[in-house]
Structure 1
Amino acid sequence: MANETDLQKWFIGAIDQGTTSTRFLIFDGTGNPVASHQIEFTQMYPQSGWHEHNPEELVSSVEECIEKATEAFVGLGHQISDIKAIGITNQRETTLVWDWETGEPLHNAIAWPDTRTKGLVRELKGQEGADDLQQICGLPLSTYPSSVKLLWLLRNVDRVRDAYENGRLAFGTPDTWLLYRLNGGKNKNLFVTDTTNASRTMFMNLHTIQYDEKVLKFFGIDRTKLHLPKIVPSSCPDSFGTIAHGALKGLRVTGCLGDQSAALVGQQGFSPGAAKNTYGTGCFLLYNVGEKPVLSTHGLLATVAYDFGQQRKPVYALEGSIAVAGSAVKFLMNNMGFFTHSHKISDLAATVDDNGGCVFVTAFSGLFAPYWIDDAKGTIFGITQYTQRGHIARATLEATCFQTKAILDAMEKDSGHKLSLLAVDGGMSNSELCMQTQANIIGIPVDRPAMRETTSLGAAIAAGFAVGVWKEFEELKQINQKGRTKFEPNIAQEDSAKMFKKWSRAVEMCRGWLDASESGDF
C-alpha cells in the first residue's frame, strides 16, 4: 500500500463526457482534483421529444478540456509524465453510428432522454419474446436503451440502413466513439466498450457478459452486417489504447465506466447494500447487490455496477432512473425565466414555507423508474391564485425527491433490505434545501461529500487500479471522506407519508395523457 506522500505525487486524468457538458479533471492519488476544465456543448432538439448531440462536438469538447486542464496542471509546476493513466466516464445509452471504413458519423448522436421511439417501443412490446428480454439483459423495453434508438435509425435513416446492408455500420455508445477517436480513428480502429456501458445497450446478456443472439434476433439485428464493440472489463491496462494526439499523446487509457457506475465507484460503494444517488440532468440511484444480478420485479433495472477484471467477478446493481432532475431546474430557468442561474432555485424555493399545495410531475420524457409510464407529460397539480413562483420552484425540487423515495421503496422490496444511508452527488445535491427535503421524504440520513466530482473520481479509480496506484478496495476507504455533510430527517414520518401520498396521486392522474394514436410530438 502506497503512503500518502507518494499518492500525492501520482496523478490520474479523468474524462467525464456528460449529457450537457464535458470535463477533464486530474486527480492526485489521494482523490483530490488538482486541475480541471469544463465545457458545455450544444443540445439539439429537432422536434418535440427528440434530443441529439453532434458526434464531432463530443470529441472536440473532450480534446479541448484535456488541453486546458493539462495546461493548468503544468502551470502548477507538475510534469505531464507524473500522470500515470487516464480514465473515461460517459453519458450512457446515447447512440452513435459511423461508417466502419471511413470513420465518418452517419447521424447525430441520439441522446439517452430522447423519446422519438415511443411508437416503436409499443410495437416491440407486442412482439413475441418481449417478455423474456428483462430476464436476459436486466432492462425493460422502453425508449431508454440504445437498442431501440439503433432500430429507429435503421428504419428511418437511409445512410444508416445502406451502411448496415453493406456491412459497414459501426454502432457504439459515447465511450466507444470517444475511445475510437482519441486513439486515432480509422488508423487504429480501436473498437471496445466496457461491461457497464454494454449492459445499457440491451444487447448484452447480464449473466454471460456477452452479446446475446436471442436478443439481437428479437431486434432483427444481423451480426454479420453490424459491427458491435468488443466488451472488456472497466479497469484494464491494455484494452483502451493510448491518446493519439495533443498534450497527453502516448498516455494510456486504462479505465472506462458508464457515468452512474463511475459515481458508485467514486462514492466507494463497494459493499453489497451500499447506494448512491446522482442528481444530474436526470437522477440515478444505484444499489450494490454483489456478484449475482438481482432481477427486479418492482420496476427497476438490473445492471453491471463495475467490473475491475484481474480475476475479480463483475459486481451488479439495481438501478432506478429518473429522466428529469436538473433538467427541470433548467426548464424553470430557460423556458420560464424564473431565475438567471440554476443554483438560485434554492433561494426562490426558500421564499415560501412549503409547496402551497403544488405538485409538479416532471414527466417531460414520460416517467422512468419505478413507474415506466411512457404516455405521461409534465403536469403541475394544485395551482390556485395563491400559487407563487417559489411554490413551483419547491415543487420542482420535491419531484426528484419523491421519485427517489419511490425507487428506494422498490429497492427495499427487491433486495429485502432497507437502506440506512443514502450517499449523494451531482449538481442538485449542492442545494441544502433539496438535500434536507430528500432526507425528510425518505426518512433516512443523506450523506454528501465535500468534493462532489465523484463520477470523474470513479473513472480515475478504475484507471488507477489498472496501473497499480491502488491494488485493493480497502486502500480507497479514506478517499473523499473529509468534510462530508449528513442531513438527518427533521419532520414527522406521518407528514412525510402524507406528502408522498399526494405525489403518488398526482402520478396516477398524469398517466395516459397521450392516447395510442398520438405520437406526442406537439
Structure 2
Amino acid sequence: MASYVLAIDQGTTGTTVLVLDRRLSPRARVNQEFRQIFPKPGWVEHDLEDIWGSTVSTVQRALREAGIRGSDVAAVGITNQRETTALWERRSSRPVAHAIVWQDRRTTDACAQLRSAGHEPLVRERTGLVLDPYFSATKLRWLLDNTKGARQKAEAGALAFGTIDSFLVWRLTGGAAHVTDVSNASRTLLMDLRERRWDRELLDLFGVPPNVLPEIRASSEVYGTTRGVKVLPDGIPVAGMAGDQQAALFGQACFRPGEAKCTYGTGAFLLQNVGPEPVMSSRGLLTTVAWTVGGETAYALEGSSFIAGAAVQWLRDGLGLIARAPDVEALAKQVKSTGELVFVPALAGLGAPHWRPEARGLIAGIDRGTTAAHLARATLEGIAFLIHDLAEAMRAEAGKPFPVFKVDGGASQNDLLMQFQADLLEVPVERPRMIETTALGAAFLAGLAVGFWKDREEIRRAWQVGKRFEPKMKPVEREQHVAKWRKAVQGA
C-alpha cells in the first residue's frame, strides 16, 4: 500500500509541497517562489503557467528529497490562496488572461456601485461576506468584460472559471475534473452559504454565466486521478481541497465547535469552528464554510488583523532596530514591561472588529526612559492586543468560549508574544509541533478520503502540541493592560 500523502500548498508568493507519513512525520518540505505581476497601482496578477510550473517543480523536488517514487503516494491534497480568480480554455487548458490575485483592488469602484444600489444586505445575508474587491465575483466579471471574446466564449461553455484549487485539479487530472470545494466556493460571493450551491440571483447580480462555474464538492473526496502529469504516475487520487485558512483550521485538528486557531503571518487570520449552522456576524466578522467531510458541514467565523509580523518587519526595515525578525524577542526581553508605552500597530488601518481604514499607527506613553527594548516589547504586545479584540468579538458572536487557542505561522514561534496572548485571552495557547498546518490540513483531507487515516479521531490522537502557554497574569494586571490599550486605540 502507498505509504505517503502529498500536500500542495499553493500560496500567494510561492508553492510548498509537503510529503507526510501516517504518523504525521514530514518526509520532505519544498518551497518555490514565483513571479508577482503589478501592471498598475493596486493591481496584482499571477501567471497561471508560473503557478503550474512551480507546482510541478516542487512536487518533483519533494519526491526526490523524501527518497520516494510517485507510486508511493496514496493521495494528493490541495490548499490554496483564496479568492484569486482564474479563467482558462476548456479545450486547450490554457489561461485566457493572468489570474487576478485576492490582493487586487481594481474592482473597488464596481463594489461601491453595488453598495450604492443597495445590494450589500442581500450579499451579506446570502454569502456571509461583504461587498469588497477581495472576493472573486467582481474579479471574474472584470475578466469576462475586459478580455477579448471572453464573455461570449464563457456563455458558450468554452471557458472554465475557478479559484486556484480548481485550476490545479484541472491540470492534475488532465482536464477531467472541473471542481471546487465548499470552503473555496464560499469565498466567491456566488454561493448560497446555507444551501452550499451556486445562487442564480447572485450570478445575475455579478453577470456570471453558469456555464463557466466548477462543480461544488466536499472538502474530502476523490475528485479524479492524476493524468498526464510528468512528475507523477497516472492514477493517484486527487482527494482533498480547502482554502488556506480553512485548511489550517483542519490541520490544527479544530474539529469541535468552539475550537479556534490563529495564523500569525504578515497579518493574522483567526477562525473559530462554530458547528453545523452558520453564525452571522454583527461585529464585522465574516461567516464562511470551514469544510464538508463525511457528509457533515462545519462553518466558521473569521476575522483578520492586517498587521502581525509586518509590525516586526517595520522595526527591522523601517527603524533598523533589529537585523532579523526573530531578534525582536531577545530585544523585548531586555525589559520586564513596557511601562506606560503602548503601540497600536495600525500600519494599514484597523481591520475587524474596529473597521477603521483611516486609522494609523500610534505610539503613546513615551518618556525619557523609553528604549528600543520597550518599543520592541510594545510591538509584540500590540499584535496580541489586536488578536485579543478579534477574539472577544468572536466569542461574543459565537456564544462559545475557546477551550484552547491554537496558533501557527511564523510569528507564533515567538514565545514572549504567545505568553502575552495567553495572558490576554485567559485561555491556554497551544503551538503545534508541526507549524506547517495549512499543508497539514490538505494532507488530512486527502488522507481521510482514501482511508489513509481512519477518521478524525485518529488524526486528533496523532496531532501533537509543541508547546503550551498557560495564562499567568493576575486579573487586575490584565484589566490595567486592556484599559491602557483601549484608550490608545481610540486615538489611532
Q: Please report the TM-score for the alignment, with normalisation by the length of structure 2.
A: 0.90
Separation in 2 of the partners of 1:108 and 1:392? 42
Q: C-alpha deviations, 1:341-367, integer Å up to 9, x for none?
A: 332332343344445624233352x44
Separation in 1 of the partners of 2:345 and 2:42? 17
Alignment of 1:279-428 (within 5 A): 279-309=264-294, 312-334=295-317, 337-355=320-338, 357-364=341-348, 366-373=349-356, 375-376=357-358, 378-382=360-364, 384=366, 388-428=371-411
Q: C-alpha deviations, 1:405-461, integer Å up to 9, x for none?
A: 122111221122222310111111111111112112222211111221221111111
2:460 aligned partner, one-letter code: K
Partner of 2:7: 14
Separation in 2 of the partners of 1:343 and 1:43? 26
Separation in 2 of the partners of 1:445 and 1:210? 38
Note if contact 2:63-2:69 (Cα within 8 Å) is conserved in structure 1: no
Query: Once the 2 structures are TM-superposed, how far is the Cα of residue 270 of structure 1 from its aligned partner?
Result: 1.1
Note if contact 2:90-2:159 (Cα within 8 Å) is conserved in structure 1: yes
Query: Once the 2 structures are TM-superposed, how far is the Cα of residue 335 of structure 1 from its aligned partner?
Result: 5.2
Q: C-alpha deviations, 1:378-431, integer Å up to 9, x for none?
A: 423338575655444444433432222122111221122222310111111111
Separation in 1 of the partners of 2:476 and 2:122? 40
Q: C-alpha deviations, 1:110-142, integer Å up to 9, x for none?
A: 332344444433332222332122221111223
Separation in 2 of the partners of 1:330 and 1:115? 24
| Residues 263-272 or 45-54, more deviating | 45-54
Separation in 1 of the partners of 2:179 and 2:278? 23
Partner of 1:81: 71
Partner of 1:207: 194
Note if contact 1:362-1:396 (Cα within 8 Å) is conserved in structure 2: no
CA RMSD of aligned residues (A): 2.7
Task: Tell me the SS of whatever aligns to 1:471.
Answer: coil
1:450 aligned partner, one-letter code: R
Separation in 1 of the partners of 2:105 and 2:482? 27
Distance 1:240 1:144, change over 3 A: farther
Separation in 2 of the partners of 1:115 and 1:244? 36
Task: Tell me the SS of whatever aligns to 1:438.
Answer: helix
Partner of 1:520: none
Partner of 1:471: 454
Distance 1:248 1:338, change over 3 A: farther
Pick the aligned partner of 1:53 from 27, 46, 49: 46
| Residues 291-300 or 85-94, more deviating | 291-300
Separation in 2 of the partners of 1:222 and 1:60? 29
Note if contact 2:258-2:403 (Cα within 8 Å) is conserved in structure 1: no
Partner of 2:61: 68
Structure 2 runs not aligned, ≥5 long: none
Query: Once the 2 structures are TM-superposed, how far is the Cα of residue 208 of structure 1 from its aligned partner?
Result: 0.9
1:65 aligned partner, one-letter code: T
Separation in 1 of the partners of 2:395 and 2:220? 30
Partner of 1:519: none
Alignment of 1:189-204 (within 5 A): 190-204=177-191
Separation in 2 of the partners of 1:336 and 1:433? 21
Query: Once the 2 structures are TM-superposed, how far is the Cα of residue 257 of structure 1 from its aligned partner?
Result: 1.1
Query: Once the 2 structures are TM-superposed, how far is the Cα of residue 331 of structure 1 from its aligned partner?
Result: 4.5
Note if contact 1:113-1:323 (Cα within 8 Å) is conserved in structure 2: no
Task: Count residues in correspondence.
Answer: 486
Distance 1:51 1:344, change over 3 A: farther
Query: Once the 2 structures are TM-superposed, how far is the Cα of residue 69 of structure 1 from its aligned partner?
Result: 0.9
Distance 1:368 1:243, change over 3 A: farther
Separation in 2 of the partners of 1:349 and 1:118? 40
Task: Tell me the SS of whatever aligns to 1:139.
Answer: coil
Alignment of 1:108-123 (within 5 A): 108-123=98-113
Partner of 1:276: 261
Query: Once the 2 structures are TM-superposed, how far is the Cα of residue 502 of structure 1 from its aligned partner?
Result: 4.2
Q: C-alpha deviations, 1:25-68, integer Å up to 9, x for none?
A: 11111111111211233444555544433322222222111111
Query: Once the 2 structures are TM-superposed, how far is the Cα of residue 165 of structure 1 from its aligned partner?
Result: 3.6
Query: Once the 2 structures are TM-superposed, how far is the Cα of residue 321 of structure 1 from its aligned partner?
Result: 2.1
Task: Tell me the SS of whatever aligns to 2:19.
Answer: strand
Note if contact 2:36-2:46 (Cα within 8 Å) is conserved in structure 1: yes
Note if contact 2:344-2:489 (Cα within 8 Å) is conserved in structure 1: no
Query: Once the 2 structures are TM-superposed, how far is the Cα of residue 189 of structure 1 from its aligned partner?
Result: 5.4
Note if contact 2:341-2:375 (Cα within 8 Å) is conserved in structure 1: no
Note if contact 1:440-1:489 (Cα within 8 Å) is conserved in structure 2: yes
What is the aligned-residue identity percentage? 40
Query: Once the 2 structures are TM-superposed, how far is the Cα of residue 23 of structure 1 from its aligned partner?
Result: 1.0
Query: Once the 2 structures are TM-superposed, how far is the Cα of residue 242 of structure 1 from its aligned partner?
Result: 1.4
Separation in 2 of the partners of 1:149 and 1:397? 35
Note if contact 1:20-1:40 (Cα within 8 Å) is conserved in structure 2: yes
Note if contact 2:364-2:488 (Cα within 8 Å) is conserved in structure 1: no
Query: Once the 2 structures are TM-superposed, how far is the Cα of residue 148 of structure 1 from its aligned partner?
Result: 3.2
Task: Tell me the SS of whatever aligns to 1:272.
Answer: coil
2:240 aligned partner, one-letter code: G
Partner of 2:210: 223
Q: Please report the TM-score for the alignment, with normalisation by the length of structure 1.
A: 0.85
Distance 1:94 1:213, change over 3 A: same
Structure 1 runs not aligned, ≥5 long: 1-5, 511-522
Matched, 1:451 2:434: yes
Separation in 2 of the partners of 1:338 and 1:367? 24
Distance 1:476 1:245, change over 3 A: same
Distance 1:82 1:139, change over 3 A: same
